[in-house]
Chains A and B, each alone.
Chain A
Amino acid sequence: MSVLVWVEHDGATVKDATLSTVTAAGKLGDVTLLVAGEGVSGAAEAAAKIAGVTKVLVADDAALAHALAENVAPLIVTLMADHDAFLVPSTTNGKNIAPRVAALLDVMQISDILSVESADTFTRPIYAGNAIATVQSKDAKKVISVRGTAFEKAATEGGSATIEPVSGAADAGVSTYVGSEIAKSERPELTSAKIIVSGGRALQNGENFHALIEPLADKLGAGVGASRAAVDAGYVPNDYQVGQTGKIVAPEVYVAIGISGAIQHLAGMKDSKTIIAINKDEDAPIFQVADIGLVGDLFKIVPELTEKL
């Protein structure tokens, strides 16, 4: 089977989420990557070095800048004449593009797969991960998004794929990119951090969040996450949100501070290797998934913990 993978990149480098998708693609067949965008030669070269990749297609065109789904999807549909499956990482870009491709191919997408059981059978979470469905696709071509935490990352070195330019990109004329506000942070990205420290509503305000959660995260070299309640209340920006409708993470260690453990939050972190919870309510649901729990007031515990580390 020939598999086309859409590469999440920033022009110069390939994002980690792509690497797990390559692993999933490798379970299906021969892997070709598509690096689409404007000024992407750096990313294309990085993509060609990923282990297990046969070919890298490079579509460099102004219409493909900013990954506008309206312009990217038709190009992918053309390329799919030569491929049997199309895979994207479950990033916001991947989620935006894949269903548009699927509908144009008249294919029912399989979202957020956790495993490849066979060429047409996959497992995926439903109901915020409270159930795992095994689904089989009857479509001739498969369109699939891949949950990054469910697959090992392919090695970024060792591959020597051929690089081939592709043309035919066009502006569909229905959308334009206006601008973006991407938060710059020195901390590890949530979806690739080994340790994550997350804060919840209990922090009460943004000042407390910064004064308590961030120093602890810095001590541990951790990424910083949050519950929806903390994001909605404006303590931190939306891209900190972990959960069913935020980021799905599975770090080595997840520290939940002042987070109750609603199913929507658990959906985003319960596959973490070790979960540590700090909560003043000993009956908080978070303790049902925590490996290590500490009951008490975070305003006392967190400064003491940061101090003692």
Chain B
Amino acid sequence: MKVLVPVKRVLDYNVKPRVKADGTGIDLANVKMSMNPFDEIAVEEAIRLKEKGVVTEIVVVSIGEPKSQDTLRTALAMGADRAILVTSDTKVEPLGVAKLLKAIADEEQPGLVILGKQAIDDDNNQTGQMLAALTGWGQGTFASKVEVEGDFVTVTREVDGGAETEKLKLPAIVTTDLRLNEPRYASLPNIMKAKSKPLATKTAADFGVDVSPRLTTLKVVEPAKRSAGIKVADVDELVGKLKAMGVAK
């Protein structure tokens, strides 16, 4: 079985985002970019399925600027077999990303597509569910456990209040939550090896898919700042404050 893993290049999670002074977005010039953490988890899960002998090939896909190549190389260094980069000059929203992924899924015929549950930049939490809608496949979102058996995948999901398990017919879509696994680091020899793994470059137009945006970002601003607080010296003073607030009697 083949697995498709879409990976997104995003602002590194350790970097504090800065809103551009002109209010058009986040300043991404000269800042560290990395693979979306949830996508690292997705790549890791695919590799583990391959190590178990369930999966034969892992294809990673990224849609974005040419620099998304770096993210694909990281995935290849972790253990993916082959990469597809889809470049686009315009902003591609989750609906457009899902349409491109649908076109790629039609070509590649994967048994599973494993995505991150959300990208930590736009925080949309949409792409996997949208791809599931367009393919008509089942969706195991927010996965904390994935088990493939025969023609089915059983997915344990992190839901409000606990965990829920669903059984999906293959092919299916899975989106990863934080506790699915701990992604490995790519070793230096594997990083070297990844340089010679195949990476195909395409454009959104190659797929004949209309990815023009439906949303216009009118402005981006910083959230309201909290005013500086006070420090209390000891527990008694804290208890006094809590009483004054009516929280404690």
Contacts and interface: CB of A to CB of B under 8 A. Distances in A.
A253 interface: yes
A12 interface: no
**Shortest 9 CB-CB contacts between residues of A and residues of B:** A99-B129, A103-B133, A108-B214, A103-B130, A174-B138, A99-B126, A291-B229, A175-B138, A178-B165
Tell me the interface secondary structure of chain B in the complex.
Answer: mixed
Interface of A: 66, 68-70, 73, 91-93, 95-104, 106-112, 121, 125-139, 172-183, 189, 191, 195, 219-220, 228, 231-232, 237-239, 244-245, 247, 252-253, 263-264, 270, 274-276, 282, 287-295, 301, 304-305, 308-309
B219 A134 contact: yes
15 contacts: A96-B141, A99-B133, A102-B126, A125-B123, A130-B16, A174-B168, A176-B166, A178-B165, A180-B162, A220-B247, A238-B177, A239-B160, A288-B228, A294-B235, A305-B235
B247 A253 contact: yes
Nearest to B222: A131
B95 A305 contact: no
A127 B17 contact: yes
Contacts of A68: 166
Contact of A137 (B94, B166, B214): B214
Contacts of A247: 160
A293 B161 contact: no
A93 B217 contact: no
A276 B220 contact: no
Given A175-B138, A238-B163, A294 B238 contact: yes
A133 B217 contact: yes
B218 A136 contact: yes
B245 A274 contact: yes
Tell me the interface secondary structure of chain A in the complex.
Answer: mixed
Contacts of A294: 231-232, 234-235, 238
Contact of B95 (A69, A102, A173, A274): A102
A180 B223 contact: no
Contacts of B221: 131-132, 134
Interface residues of B, number: 80
A118 to B, nearest CB: 11
Given A111-B126, A220-B247, 10 more contacts: A92-B141, A93-B159, A96-B142, A99-B94, A127-B17, A176-B167, A180-B164, A238-B163, A239-B158, A305-B235
Interface string B112-133: 0000011011111111111111
A293 B229 contact: yes
Given A100-B129, A127-B11, A138-B215, A109 B238 contact: no
A93 B118 CA distance: 15
A185 B239 CA distance: 27
Contact of B125 (A99, A130, A134, A274): A99
A304 to B, nearest CB: 5
